[in-house]
Structure 1
Amino acid sequence: MATEGAGMGRVSDTRAWPKRLRLADDFWFVAHDDASGRSRLGTMALGLGLAGALIGELVLSGSVAVSSGRVLVLNARPLRDPDCQAIVQHMLAEPQHDVRTWLSYLSHSAEDTVAVRLLRAGLVTRESQRRVFTTAMVHRPVDMSFAFWRSARLKQVLAAGRVQSDRQDVVLAGLVFSTGLFRAVLLEDFTTADAVLRRRLMSADRSFREIIAQVATLVGDAVLAIRG
């Protein structure tokens, strides 16, 4: 990977880009344009997708499980990410809430939570963009190729079959599907990818299936509310 230097020379990019990202970080890159940083989703769908990804991270870490719509805290050990740690502590303090409630609640702050995390990691920059009647703040990926690879990798996992998938890939694909991004990401490979995802979700962890299903329901409810 290289960047333009002074004159005709080129300066090597010495940044150590992570080979894998956390689930919510991966979803953020798939859900945003790799050049402009603009969201490909509406505010509600983006927030719900990121909220599902944050809860998915807790499942991947063994901190929580989701069963019959309930969120169960399995392990309250400290987590490296302070935002995920705060979510677990909140769930411990209010165990009466179901996963649907947690998704709705977290969706309001999930975009800011993940964007700040990406800023701290040096993967995005924050800048203003002029629009017709206003100026909006966006988070632009520092490296377009790195950002683009998040969607390209997902496409290879599901459609081309050239990359071996793991649990994170499956739940990422499920969240992309449930928020309405699937066809845009997979393009002409949609039919193949759809069949592959359905097969893999059948054998996926129950917690992931429930998170994905609830995100899809909440996104659908939000669309109906807008149309109504």
Structure 2
Amino acid sequence: MLLADDLYFVAHEETSGKSRLHPRVTGLALAAALLGELVMDGKIDLRAGMITIIDRQPPVDALAHTILDQLASERQQHATHNWLAFLGNSATDQVCQRMVRSGHLNRSESRGLLRTTVRFVPADRSAAAWPEARLRRFLTRGEQLTIQDAVLAGLIEASDLTRHVLWDGDARSFQYLAWVLSSLPPPLRELVTQAQAAIGNAVITTLN
């Protein structure tokens, strides 16, 4: 699965599909993950708070293609935090639709007296639990992470989900996580930093 798909599963309960985060936080985290997919695919670069397109060739994934087209449609560069805010408005729905198409989520409707409620439930509970279990194993054992899992760990940290993932972790697990995040390539390290700032601001706004 792609980065945003993994993050979606960690941010939602594997049985009910219920989100563990505030909707705005979920959107921002998934927006960051979608940008991360483009960084890892060599399509964009993040430096000094700005996004730069370095390869306009369409990505294989349809959603990544859509996001890249949106970035390329702007004549002027825009700050990363502005793109996170913009993409965060639709990221959850877009990732859900991609995961439905790939068979990872099932769309479920329940009709009430006044409205119809739509939920997205994992098609396979084991597959839904795997990203979280995989990260927990790697971090608690100090094993090497792939670049995608390292970014996933960073966005989980930015979303304040680390305690959920490392519920049985000791001090060394958290120290190893800190080392993993500090070792990210600069564009991805900046992405995690920008995501953490955007999510922090969203939380403060929500509380106020």
Q: Which has the larger radius of gyration?
A: 1
Q: Is the 8 A contact 2:110 2:116 kept in 1?
A: yes
Specify which of 2, 6, 9 is matched with residue 29 of structure 1: 9
Specify the SS of the correspondent of 1:128: strand
Q: 1:153-204: per-residue Cα shift (whole Å, max 9, x none)? A: 011121123x531111111000001011110111021633321121122221
Separation in 2, partners of 1:107, 1:99:
12
Partner AA of 2:158 in structure 1: S
Q: 1:54-97: per-residue Cα shift (whole Å, max 9, x none)? A: 00000010000100001010101111112211211221221421
**Residue 140 of structure 1: how far off its partner (Å):** 0.5
Q: Residue 119 of structure 2 corresponds to which residue in structure 1?
A: 138
Separation in 2, partners of 1:196, 1:96:
35
Alignment CA distance shift 1:128-1:196 (3 Å): same
Q: Residue 123 of structure 1 corresponds to which residue in structure 2?
A: 104
Alignment CA distance shift 1:214-1:80 (3 Å): same
**Residue 226 of structure 1: how far off its partner (Å):** 2.1
Separation in 1, partners of 2:115, 2:138:
39
**Residue 225 of structure 1: how far off its partner (Å):** 1.4
Q: Residue 16 of structure 1 corresponds to which residue in structure 2?
A: none
TM-score (normalised: structure 2):
0.93
Q: Residue 103 of structure 1 corresponds to which residue in structure 2?
A: 84
Q: Is the 8 A contact 2:50 2:79 kept in 1?
A: yes
Separation in 2, partners of 1:130, 1:144:
24
Specify the SS of the correspondent of 2:18: coil
Q: Residue 61 of structure 1 corresponds to which residue in structure 2?
A: 41
Percentage of matched positions with identical amino acids: 36
Q: Residue 166 of structure 2 corresponds to which residue in structure 1?
A: 186
Q: Residue 11 of structure 1 corresponds to which residue in structure 2?
A: none
**Residue 134 of structure 1: how far off its partner (Å):** 6.4
Give the superposed CA RMSD. Answer: 1.7
Q: Residue 184 of structure 2 corresponds to which residue in structure 1?
A: 204
Gaps of 5+ in 1: 1-20
Separation in 1, partners of 2:14, 2:27:
18
Matched, 1:87 2:60: no
Separation in 1, partners of 2:84, 2:131:
23
Please identify, of 205-214 and 90-99, the stretch whose mean Cα deviation from structure 2 is larger: 90-99
Specify the SS of the correspondent of 1:173: helix
Separation in 2, partners of 1:61, 1:186:
28
Alignment CA distance shift 1:40-1:67 (3 Å): same
Gaps of 5+ in 2: none
Separation in 1, partners of 2:132, 2:182:
23
Alignment CA distance shift 1:206-1:146 (3 Å): same
The structure showing larger relative contact order (alpha-carbon pairs under 8 Å, at least 6 residues apart) is 2
Q: Is the 8 A contact 1:182 1:190 kept in 2?
A: no
Alignment CA distance shift 1:116-1:190 (3 Å): farther
TM-score (normalised: structure 1):
0.85
